[in-house]
Amino acid sequence: MNLIAAWFSHLNETTGINFTVFYDPFDRARFVQGFLVTLELCGVTIVGSVMVGILGAWGQGAASIWLRRLVQFYIQIFRNTPPLVQVYFFYFGLSALLPEVKNSFGMSQPLIGGFVWASISLICFAGAFNVEIFRSGIEAIPHSTLEAAEALGFTRLQTYRQVVLPLGLRICMPALTNNLVNLIKTTPLAYAIAVPELLYVCNQIWSDNENVPEMMLLLFIIYIALVGVLVFIMHRWERALRVPGLGL
């Protein structure tokens, strides 16, 4: 570690290429912290948006026309408007209508903080796409399979949980991977509402050190690595789930 620090310090002195995060403890601490927040944000929103997708796809197949319309309305709103404005709308607009709590400083403070609002709005945004993706996966299941389940005496919920969802998931896996990659690429939006994620800390670091290109390079490397890891995991999962004879 010391060797690395010394090398980057030397690099800065000799060439002016200034990777402060590798030798300055203050910058390294906040960089690592920002990276962890980004990881957490990615994790929370991926899990959340998949759950929204499953629930929404179920709602779209519901008997109640009002439930179907509601889901449809939700999808259209979040797909056809800018995610940045959604984040602002949630963080500033909606939270103004929510109750407030007193904090230790004796001031009232919104109930929900930046990280949670960023997660909620990103989940809603990616979830809207996931609903459509799951629905297309479900629609691709042959009717005969569903009829077979019905003939075997499965209830609607049982059919959904044990037949539709597992098969649909396998079919829509590639599209789901694409959308989750897209979600990871959208998380830097949280920067706009001061969530201390990776882009936020990098911006602070380059403001203090005037080393924009170096930090940009790190940002690109990290995000592309994150996407790579996600795609790798999804591929492994896809292979593990493969059912022989599903006709794909």
Partner 1 sequence: MNAKKLALLGILAGLGATIAVNSARADALSDIKAKGVLVVGVKADYPPFGSLSPSGENVGIEPDLARELAKGLGVKVQFVPVVAANRMQFLEQGKIDVMIATMNDTPERAKAVDIVHPDYYASGYNVMVPKTVNLTSWNQLKGVPVCAIQGAFYNKEVAEKFGAETVAFTGVAEALTALRQGRCNAFVYDDTAIEGKLQDPSWKDYDMPLESQDAQPWGIAVKLGDTDLAAYISKSIIDWDKTGLILSLETKYGIKHAAFAVQMHNKYK
Partner 2 sequence: MRVILPLPEVLQRESSRALPVMRLSWRHGILLAGLLCLFTIAADAAGTSPIRSSVFAVLARWTPLLLHGFALNILISVLSMAIGTALGAFLGLALISPDRPLRGTAWGVTQFFRNAPWLVLLFFMIFILPYHLHIGSFDFVLPDWSKAVIGLSLPVMANVAEIVRGGVQSIPNGQWEASESLGFTRHQQLWMIILPQAIRRMLPPWMNLYAILTTSTTLASIVGVNDVVTLAGQVLSAEGSRPDLLAPIYGYVLVMFYIYIYPIAWATRRLEHKYQVRN
> Considering beta carbons, is residue 159 or 203 the nearer one to partner 2?
203
> Which residue in 32, 152, 158, 232 binds partner 2 (CB under 8 A)?
232
Query: Which ranges in the chain belong to alpha helices (H)?
Result: 2-15, 25-60, 65-79, 83-88, 114-139, 143-151, 156-159, 165-186, 198-209, 212-241
Q: Contact region for partner 2 (CB under 8 A) — 10-18, 112-120, 155-163, 226-234?
A: 226-234
> What residues between 49 and 78 interact with partner 2 by CB under 8 A?
72-73, 76-77
**Within positions 67 to 96, which residues make up the interface with partner 1, using CB under 8 A?**
88, 92, 95-96
CA distance 49 to 178: 13
DSSP secondary-structure letter at 102? E
Of 67, 192, 231, 234, the one binding partner 1 by CB under 8 A: 192
CB of 7 to partner 2, least distance (A): 25
Alpha-carbon span 160 to 175, nearest angstrom: 20
Q: Which is nearer to partner 2, 94 or 116 (CB)?
A: 94
Binds partner 2 (CB under 8 A): choice among 114, 191, 195, 205: 191
CA 110 – CA 193 distance, rounded (Å): 14
Q: Position of tokens 């006709």? A: 247
Q: Which amino acid is at 6?
A: A
The size of the interface with partner 1 (CB under 8 A), counted in residues, is 27
Binding mask 203-232 for partner 1 (x = CB under 8 A): xx--xx-x-xx-------------------
Please report, as residue ranges, which positions from 137 to 156 form the binding site for partner 1 (by CB under 8 A): none
* Phi, psi at 57, each rounded to 5°: -65, -35
Among the listed ranges 3-11, 108-116, 136-144, 226-234, the one in contact with partner 1 (CB under 8 A) is: 108-116
Interatomic CA distance for residues 82 and 103, integer angstroms: 33
What's the rounded Cα separation, in Å, for the pair 128 and 122?
10
CB of 80 vs partner 1, minimal distance in Å:
24
Count of residues in contact with partner 2, rule CB under 8 A:
55
Phi-psi region of 247 (alpha: psi -120 to 50; beta: other; left: phi over 0): left
Structure tokens at 131: 């609903």
Half-sphere exposure of 19 (CA within 13 A, CB side): 14
Integer Rg of the chain from CA: 23
Residues that bind partner 1 (CB under 8 A): 26, 88, 92, 95-96, 100, 103, 105-110, 113-114, 191-194, 200, 203-204, 207-208, 210, 212-213
Residues that bind partner 2 (CB under 8 A): 72-73, 76-77, 79-86, 88-89, 92-94, 96-97, 132-133, 135-137, 140, 171-175, 177-178, 181, 184-189, 191-192, 199, 212-213, 216, 219-220, 223-224, 227-228, 231-232, 235, 248
